[in-house]
Amino acid sequence: MGGHHGYSCRGNGRSKHGGKTKKRKRETTSPGSIPSPNQMTRHHLVPKSRIPYEHRGSKGHENIRKVVRWRHEAWHNVFGNKTPIEVVDMLWRLAPAGYFETFDVSMSWWGQRVSLSLESHEQTEFMADWGDKKFLAWKALFGSRSLVLVLAEVLREWAPDGYFTRYSIVAYDSGAWYKVRHF
């Protein structure tokens, strides 16, 4: 009466209207095998569970990026199930006072609109409070890159196209000025 570990049983292969559904090849491994850290996985840029119910299934292709397993797992170890704007907010709150000269980020997705600006900035997140697993996952993802370069990567590569409507960030880090902009 045991289940098949590593497999998912979903429905009967028919749509709710009686027609055959197209089955997608799953990224699973054989029961008992260890998945390869370099195996490609499907990462939802906006977590599936965070998409408003009425929009599930729409924009699906825009919301998925193929990512190697180790990066996918590291991402979720650091950011959990956060949306891209929540990730930017977390990164923004890692910065000490005075780090940003300009910080203006806006998003609009499925009717939700959020803006973050320098006026409301306060450092409330500290890497020193993170456990080893989260810190090592951060290092695997971003190495020793500066916070502003990590923000640039998240804004450009870890969100669906069009999710961030505009951003303008100017920061001073390690003796250099950085500008990250999109209008």
Higher pLDDT, 163 or 23: 163
Domain of residue 142 covers 40-182
Q: Is residue 122 part of a domain?
A: yes
- Model confidence pLDDT, tens digit, residues 80-100: 999 999 999 999 999 998 999
Summarize pLDDT for 139-149 with one digit per residue, the tens. 999 999 999 99
- Within a domain: 112: yes
Tokens (6 digits) for 73: 């797992």
| Amino acid (1-letter code) at residue 36 | S
For residues 36 and 84, which has the higher predicted lDDT (pLDDT)? Answer: 84
Query: How many domains is the chain built from?
Result: 1
Residue 146 lies in a domain: yes
Q: How far is CA 35 from CA 6, 23, 52, 137, in A?
A: 10, 22, 31, 18
Enumerate residues 6+ apart whose C-beta is below 8 A from 126: 94
Asked if residue 157 lies in contact with residue 125, where contact means CB atoms within 8 angstroms, the answer is no
Does residue 131 belong to any structural domain of this protein?
yes
> Is residue 110 in some structural domain?
yes
